Amino acid sequence: MDRSASGGPVVSEAAVDRTRLVARSRRLNVATLGYNSLEGVVAIVAGLAAGSVALLGFGIDSGIELSASVVALWRLSADADAARRVEVEQASHRIIGVLFLALAGYVAYEAGAALWRREEPRESLVGIALAAASVVIMPLLARAKRRVGIELGSRALTSEARQTSLCAYLSAILLGGLVLNAWLGWWWADPVAALAMVPIIAREGVDGLQGQPTCTDGCH
């Protein structure tokens, strides 16, 4: 190990930058954990009050998002050890892939069941406010997390950021469905839009299960 004139180890600028990126990524994932916890509780309570399958599904999606953020934090905890980093990167990328597939399955089931049963939920102003807040907050978190994931060369972290982006899309779908149901009585708008998201979510899951461990120049 190189040492400075005072005898202490020399820490490269690249190592310092990586440490800062890891700390930033950790803060972003903790923020996601906090928001998704609040989002999930509010969505489930509002969904039960309004009889809304869409809101209940959104609350369960928040739980899946929580799991993905925990996996991302596990990945970050191994970043300092280069050998362990690769091992954890592969495992966490696959776990996030499984979470994507779980989300796709749940959205498909809930949307299909809502259409089959012709469920017409009551309007929910709390649900509309929650979805509107998530449409604003989740894209900001997703962009910031994706940027850090790219700089760290981590497919696992960029995959988790894409899951946050999908949460933003689902928020927009939920908002549209709740508003159309409240104003026009179009109960079917939300499940139809949600079904359109399923192939996109499932593709992310399949990509994650392929387990490509890292990306050096950028993650798409």
Please state, in angstroms and rounded to a whole number, the distance separating the CA atoms of residues 22 and 83: 16
**6 found inside a domain:** no
Q: What is the pLDDT of residue 211?
A: 59
The tally of domains found in the chain comes to 1
Kindly state the tokens that stand for 198: 């399923």
**76 found inside a domain:** yes
* Cα 211 to Cα 11, 98, 132, 161, 190, distances in angstroms: 32, 11, 34, 16, 33
* DSSP three-state, residue 100: helix
Q: What is the pLDDT of residue 12?
A: 63
Q: Look at the pTM and tell me if it is higher than 0.75.
A: no
* Cα 55 to Cα 40, 42, 47, 174, distances in angstroms: 9, 9, 5, 7
- Cβ pair 166, 197 in contact under 8 A: yes
- Inter-axis angle of helices 155-184 and 53-77, nearest 10: 170
Q: What is the pLDDT of residue 107?
A: 81
Kindly state the tokens that stand for 211: 């387990």
**164 found inside a domain:** yes
Q: What is the pLDDT of residue 31?
A: 93
Average pLDDT, the chain: 81
Query: In CATH, what number is assigned to the domain containing residue 128?
Result: 1.20.1510
